[in-house]
Amino acid sequence: MSLESMGAIPAGGQDSGGIPPPTGTRILVVDDEALQRQVLCDLLVAEGYEVATAASGVEALAQVLEAPPDCVLLDVLMPGMDGYEICRRLKSDLRTVFIPVVIVTVLRRLEDKVKGIEAGADDFLLKPVNPLELLARVRASLRLKHLTDELDHAEGVLAMLAAAVEARDPFLVGHCERLATSALELGRAVGIDSEGLAALRRGGLLHDLGKIAVPDAILLKGSPLTPAEQAVMMEHVLVGERICQPLRSLRPVLPIIRSHHERWDGSGYPDGLRGEAIPLLARILQIADIYDALRTPRPYRVGLPPTEAATVLREETARGWRDPRLVEVFVALPAVGLQ
Ligand SMILES: [Fe+2]
């Protein structure tokens, strides 16, 4: 069957914009009708895209996870899982949330469009497809994806900086990774949702990023800090927050960075927050942070065994510094090693 008989107007390669897509730019076409898949496939391949196809929702989701595409073109009316549901699933999974989804549909009513927007679709295209419009929308979606990838890249750079901070202190190597793991475990135990868990993981790596502004003479000092040195050290929570602030993807992590030195009784810094006014994720990370610090050997003392580290944590809680409920959940975790 020809493109015309499918209602598509041949592109004739005239809307390439003069610039071919970067090699390996991959589009996933999801449609239960083989001919529709073929139409879109032909148009995109002619423009230099790599195209994969899926005939059902289940197949599409499996393909996206196996080989994430740069954009998904998604039919709505399909037996089994419809396009809205596929879109919802893609947009509620952290692994796939940033892949642009263009809904391709015969449904023209406003409520259908609203449904698509609610499912998280990035754009819409009406069937029969106009090739010029199709290619323009795909290009716009890819631009969006590119920006998001750049943000991911920026986040990677910050994580490398955080690792560099950690590397300045040989006794802290591996600390961030370990505390991120135990903070996640505590987060799961108290029912934190997947977005919160992702923030905890990033918070584990980035919470002390601001120490980049603390001189070695203070950071590595083996004896107690003077009040002036302490003030410099305390700045790290604000410096870290400032560095990460421009990245939208790190917004959920900012309260962790800013508030991980607050204390339950209000005697912490930088804001002197008290009790549940301290963001929950910051309270969780703090407990994992302190526990790992206690377990890690320092130049002036050996690392404490699990029972002693837990005792110190409980003593600090009795003093009013930590969230008592979280501390008890934490010390009961299998990873803490007391069971
Ligand atoms: Fe810190």
pLDDT confidence band for 174 (50 / 70 / 90): confident
Whole-prediction pTM = 0.60
Give the end of a domain, one of 148, 181, 207: 148
Q: How far is the CA of 266 from the centre of ligand 1 (A)?
A: 17
Q: How far is the CA of 46 from the centre of ligand 1 (A)?
A: 54
Calculate the CA dihedral of residues 96, 252, 250, 335 and round it to 10 degrees: -80
For residue 237, report the distance from its CA to the centre of ligand 1, in Å: 6
> Is residue 153 situated within a structural domain?
no
Amino acid at 159: A
Residues 182 and 329 in one domain: yes
Same domain, 31 and 140: yes
pLDDT at position 18 is 54
157 in a structural domain: no
Q: Which positions ≥6 away from 137 have C-beta within 8 Å? A: 102, 123, 125
Round the average pLDDT of the chain to a whole number and report it. Answer: 86
320 and 282 part of one domain? yes
Here the contacts of 137-141 (C-beta below 8 Å, separation 24 or greater) are 137/102, 138/27, 138/44, 138/49, 138/71, 138/73, 138/102, 139/17, 139/21, 141/71, 141/100, 141/102
Which of 148, 179, 213 is a domain's end point? 148
Q: Is residue 155 part of a domain?
A: no
Q: Do 181 and 123 reside in the same domain of the chain? A: no
3-state helix, strand, coil in the chain (%, to 5): 60, 10, 35
Q: Give the span between the Cα atoms of 163 and 212, in whole angstroms.
A: 10
CATH number at residue 210: 1.10.3210.10
pLDDT-derived band at 13 (thresholds 50, 70, 90) equals very low
Is 44 within 8 Å of 20 (Cβ atoms)? Answer: no
228 lies in the same domain as 119? no
Pair (101, 196) in one structural domain: no
Report how far ligand 1's centroid is from the alpha carbon of 188 (Å).
22
pLDDT tops 60 at residue 92: yes
Is residue 322's pLDDT more than 50? yes
How far does the centroid of ligand 1 lie from the alpha carbon of residue 4, in Å? 64
- pLDDT of res. 82: 93
**78 and 184 fall within a common domain:** no
Cα of 93 from ligand 1 centre, angstroms = 30
Ligand 1 centroid to Cα of residue 257, in Å, is: 8
**pLDDT above 80: residue 328:** yes
- The mean per-residue pLDDT over the stretch 305-326 comes to 95
Average pLDDT over residues 71-90: 92
Distance 305 CA to ligand 1 centre (A): 22
Among candidate residues 174, 201, 200, the one with its CA nearest the CA of residue 293: 174
Same-domain pairing of 315 and 229: yes
Pair (214, 305) in one structural domain? yes
**33 CA to centre of ligand 1 in angstroms:** 56
Choose the final residue of a domain: 98, 118, 148: 148
- CATH code: domain of residue 32: 3.40.50.2300
| Domain interval for residue 197 | 169-336
CA–CA separation, 220 and 119 (whole Å): 50
Q: CA 55 to CA 32: how far, in whole Å?
A: 4
- Tell how far the Cα of 119 is from the centroid of ligand 1, in angstroms: 38
Cα(210) to centroid of ligand 1, in Å? 8
CB 103 within 8 Å of CB 121: yes
pLDDT at 220 over 90: no
Mean pLDDT for 280-298 is 93
pLDDT tens for residues 102-120? 999 888 788 888 888 888 8
Indicate if the pLDDT at residue 231 is higher than 50: yes
CA–CA gap between residue 298 and residue 181 (Å, rounded): 21
Q: What pLDDT is attached to residue 202?
A: 87
**pLDDT-derived band of residue 321, with 50, 70 and 90 as boundaries?**
very high
When mean pLDDT is compared across 33-47, 56-70, 215-229, 259-273, the lowest value belongs to 215-229
Cβ-contact 259, 237 below 8 angstroms = yes
Cα(278) to centroid(ligand 1), Å:
15
279 CA distance to ligand 1 middle (Å): 15
What are the angstrom distances between the C-alpha of 296 and each of 158, 237, 301, 305, 326?
A: 24, 22, 9, 9, 21
Query: How many independent structural domains does the chain possess?
Result: 2
Statement to judge: residues 62 and 203 lie in one domain: no
- 34 — pLDDT class (breaks 50, 70, 90): very high
pLDDT digits 0-9 by tens, 41-79: 999 999 999 999 999 999 999 999 999 999 999 999 899
- Cα 252 to ligand 1 centroid, rounded to whole Å: 17
- Cα of 80 from ligand 1 centre, angstroms: 50
Contacts of residue 207, Cβ cutoff 8 Å, sequence gap at least 6:
176, 240, 256, 257, 260, 285, 289
Higher pLDDT, 116 or 168: 116
95 and 197 inside one domain: no
One domain for residues 59 and 176:
no
Flag whether 251 is in a domain: yes
